[in-house]
Amino acid sequence: MRLYRFLTAVDDASFCHKVTAALNKGWHLYGSPTYAYDAGQQTMRCGQAVVKDIEGQDYVAGETKLSDW
């Protein structure tokens, strides 16, 4: 199965740490990062899609927990 996650965080070191942690768990960058203003929080936010291929497992909507991988 191929898993997809979209990681977001405030534009500070926490975003870089979140992406680095995912990469060290075997996730791969997918596409370019995004950058947008969050008017509600009055701050800039970053986003990055990541994917991971898992052999021998089937994806089950509502049951497959992305955080387990």
| Cα–Cα dist 29/23, whole Å | 8
Domain membership of residue 66 (yes or no) is no
CA 37 to the chain's CA centroid: 18
pLDDT digits (tens, 9 = 90+) for 18-46: 999 999 999 999 999 999 999 999 999 99
Q: What is the pTM of this model?
A: 0.85
Domain membership of residue 67 (yes or no) is no
Enter the DSSP assignment of 68. G
User: Over 90: is that where the pLDDT of 65 sits?
Assistant: no
User: Over 90: is that where the pLDDT of 66 sits?
Assistant: no
Domain membership of residue 62 (yes or no) is no
Nearest Cα residue to 30 out of 11, 60, 7: 7
Specify the pLDDT at position 28.
98
Provide the number of structural domains found in the chain: 1
Joined together, the tokens standing for residue 42 give: 């009055």
Instruction: Enumerate the β-bridge partners of residue 34.
Output: 47
